[in-house]
Structure 1
């Protein structure tokens, strides 16, 4: 146990120091415009050099700083959250492998080394999702792994197409490729890979299923590692996908993902699932602004979202931990009087998610929505942007209503408290960044203040939509349907909105049903049918009949022997004469 504690503390200190140094270097690289490209020759074989390449620019260093900062606090948080686990060493090592895979992905300008980090994320995420070894975790792990394998195959095909250019260092060829048919194909394959990793429609069902992992892992996965890998890859490949049909396709898909996730979260009662669906909604926002040709804005929102989403998951983990693993928000209530510090952190992260002015989420979300209002965009995409923003505030207020206010709905003898100071320390450190991180990043990333001039109704549309969403969320939380509508309500919420438009059914039962039926038919009609009739059974019957015939022939019967003797005599006489 002492060794595991020291491993937690050691990992926390190392990652925190690495984060600070990476942030300082990233700021210097951003100010000076410096880019460092490192090639390390591993070995040489028959005049072929196997070289590992690393790209250090302001973007990769900033992202690494945020990933390491969040992962250090997650490991520190896990020290108390996972204290009941006897094999906490294994958990910490898996988390460190997860972070290492993300580092490979971030600093790789080469598709082969990107695949190394990409597959590392997939494999370690499978190990973490099935960490609690039960049937549900196993099913969720298989769904996560197999969904991500589709993207891995797309990335392998992109690697094969890069052979047309003589090297896998895509960073050199982006401007050259963008007008060629090979560039279009590679861009489409990379978009497909990013859609699976960032859980866009129709690959969305694995993201809520991956909540089977321990909550500290969810805080890491949903903020800065696994699901953001696809967005980061598209930021790097942005030149290939703007101003063509790929960007229009991605804009529609990501807008629908954002809308679907926001709608589904309003009908969920599982605390972790609501936050997972909010991650899906924010990923749709990042992908959609990326498809419009604003990679810097997508990266800005990626970093600010990582801060408050990790904090939101940590607070949810603290609530679940204190509620003795109950995740139903209807069993909460009046947490603000029972767990005041956790509630403060929870509300700050929730308000940052909604885009409350001067918190981290405001600087990126408000800028994105103003750019959308300024852009030449069709009505469907415009509606999806702003309606999804209203839905975000709607489910956030609903969550606050159920968990923070009203009467406490659990047992009177309850274990709620704020005494876990290790978890609280990690949450408070993240809360500070969730408050000030947005303005610091906006000052660093944008050299001059961004001023967007719009008509008054467009300028205030974001806050108006948020206000309407807050009102609807509050009323929705209080609203109860009559008995006559309860069956329809149950079907609508559970079967359609709550199931993400039937996507989990399609990706599980839908994928399994026809192959299983076909296998049953093949088993009955071929394996146990015609193949038996013409195969084993027929051979058995024929051989059995022949052996019975021979057995009858060879019985010690005087007539048979006499007949054989007469036959031989006849044959001999015939040959002699």
Structure 2
């Protein structure tokens, strides 16, 4: 019997190929299609479903489908111990289809359907392993994303000012009008929640409670990229003040996540924080007006981040589901192929020349260097790039080199053939995907003219990051002891500037405390006495009195007779 994984894998892969070829065709011809399907026509009202097919939506869709096909193939072995694997694959497919709806919609209503579909299915996937940690993570994920959903609903309400909800007609034409500025602001708020920018960042590492294949899908091409994609579509409507605000938020997110990853010891959380850092980079370059570069980095990042999570899943799977990098070490001797993939995708994340990440990251930094920007933006971009390299080499040092720190009796090795095949499907694109996309998206190359020092700045910062990452890891024991002395600073940096505490305790503690007070003073106080409890006591008293009467009715009857006789004798 053919597994459900293979059916979905083959269908997604074939659709991905068709979508990619269609995208190239439309790119060459400079075409775009708008398909309208009339769902309902009643008197003068017609409800129309609109689909936008241009090179951007088809290219992104092909990447999402390709990555999800590899993830589903990989899940066949990773989730093999799960008796509900069919349900898991169905949920992942619903997740991907919600993303498809969001990508091909030029209409805010259908975008909301895809957007809410992503939020709902992501909640189901985060709480897949049903324990208290998963439930808490699922709740913070769902509630953080609800803020964005409400912002999107408000944007839809503001679209009533125009003739239809098809924003694609109005973003450029109505730029600068008050209504479009408000819509753009609301869309930006929605994008910030979905792409986990400050101050909504705390749900992204919490969502690591989901199974690793889901993390691979969420952090590469679906949930977190939805916000960036929506802003790429709305880039024409962004005013200069909104862009300035987004630039500040994006750079702060990038810096905060890069710094936090250097203090983290959970393998999946380090990779999650690296995703957050890259999302900040995409938002920041989008805010500088380079939306095509943001899309370019979005696509290249999707490839190596999916592979990075797959490799991490394979390692976690092998070391008995431990995620602490201090329990690993020397894995390159035990799992050579997985570790090779891991190193290649990590180097692509750092922007090593001629891997996929290099083409987008280097181009972003060079275009940024050409802009008229203040020193703060320039410095924070390059420091964040250095931090990326720093935590990457710290991760490689802890996981792949040195002594093996796990159980002496183990069966670790590259034995998962299906998982390895799933990863092999991505490794070629991680290596050649950047150059391929570069040739496709920018047929006329960017001409960048910079002084030598600014030209090699990215390389210098990367080399400095390698050195710092190595030194910090080499003296890890002393470093950890020093960090313990500065525990408050260490905790502050590793917990993303206390954001998870603010967004959980800060939001929950006082309302729950007030609820407790109300419960004691009102529910268990006078309302209880005057309400149900009081009625119950009165009915109980009446019932007991009647019961007493019924139990003693003969005595009472005789007593009443005697009283009546006495009454008759006395008064008659």
Q: TM-score range by the shorter chain?
A: over 0.9
Q: 1:137 to 1:534 in 2, by over 3 A?
A: closer
Which residue of the partner structure matches residue 8 of structure 1?
A: 5
Q: Return closer, same or farther for 1:106/1:394 CA change in 2, 3 Å cut-off.
A: same
Task: Single out whichever of 93-102 and 533-542 deviates more from structure 2.
Answer: 533-542
CA contact (8 A) 2:472 2:479 kept: no
Instruction: State the TM-score, normalizing by the size of structure 2.
Output: 0.93
Tell me whether 283-292 or 12-21 shows the greater mean CA deviation: 12-21
User: Partner of 1:496 in structure 2?
Assistant: 492
- Quote the offset at 1:132 in angstroms: 1.1
* CA 1:538–1:448: 2 relative to 1, 3 Å: closer
Secondary structure of 1:260 counterpart: helix
Question: The residue matched to 1:174 in structure 2 has which SS?
Answer: coil
2:553 is aligned to none
What number of residue pairs does the alignment pair up? 562
Q: CA RMSD in A?
A: 2.5
> For the structure 1 residues 486 and 548, does the alpha-carbon distance in structure 2 shift closer, same or farther, using more than 3 Å as the test?
same
1:389 aligned counterpart, secondary structure: helix
Partner SS for 1:330? helix
Q: Which residue of 2 is the match for residue 74 of structure 1?
A: 71
**CA deviation after TM superposition for structure 1 residue 492, in Å:** 2.5
C-alpha deviation, 1:474, in angstroms: 0.7
* Alignment partner, residue 370 of structure 1: 366
Structure 2 CA distance for aligned equivalents of residues 93 and 539 of structure 1: 52
Determine the structure 2 residue equivalent to 1:140.
137
2:254 is aligned, of 237, 252, 258, to 258
In the alignment, does 2:356 pair up with 1:324?
A: no
More deviation, 151-160/137-146: 137-146
2: distance between equivalents of 1:538 and 1:564? 39
1:348 and 1:72 map into 2 onto residues whose CA distance is 21
User: Residue 108 in 1 paired to residue 105 in 2?
Assistant: yes
Corresponding residue for residue 199 of structure 1:
196
C-alpha separation between the residues in 2 aligned to 1:564 and 1:235? 100
TM-aligned CA distance change 1:544 to 1:295, over 3 Å? closer
Q: Specify the alignment match of 2:279 in structure 1.
A: 283
CA gap 1:563/1:363 in 2 versus in 1, 3 angstroms? farther
Pair 1:486–1:314, CA change in 2 (3 A): closer
How far has the Cα of 1:437 moved from its partner?
0.3
C-alpha change, 1:48 and 1:343, in structure 2 (3 Å) is same
Summarize deviations over 1:27-74 as a string: whole Å, max 9, x none.
111111011110011111232111110000000010011111111111
* Pairing partner for 1:296 from 284, 287, 292: 292
Q: Greater shift after overlay, 366-375 or 421-430?
A: 421-430
Unmatched segments (≥5 aa) in structure 1: 570-577
The whole-number CA distance in structure 2 between the counterparts of 1:372 and 1:283 is 16
SS at match of 1:315: helix
**d(CA) in 2 for partners of 1:178, 1:270:** 45
Given the alignment, which residue of 146, 149, 154 partners 2:146?
149
1:236 aligned residue: 233
Q: Structure 2 unaligned runs (5+)?
A: 549-555
1:507 deviates by 1.4
Q: CA deviation at 1:451?
A: 2.6
1:574 aligns to what?
none
Aligned twin of 2:24:
27
The alignment's TM-score, normalised by the length of structure 1, stands at: 0.92
Which residue of 1 is the match for residue 270 of structure 2? 274
Q: Note the 1:172-571 alignment, pairs <5 A.
A: 172-241=169-238, 243-479=239-475, 480-481=477-478, 485=482, 487-493=484-490, 495-532=491-528
| Aligned counterpart, 2:118 | 121
Q: Deviations over 1:473-513 (max 9, x none)?
A: 111112233897454333322x3111111111111122111
**Aligned twin of 2:552:** none
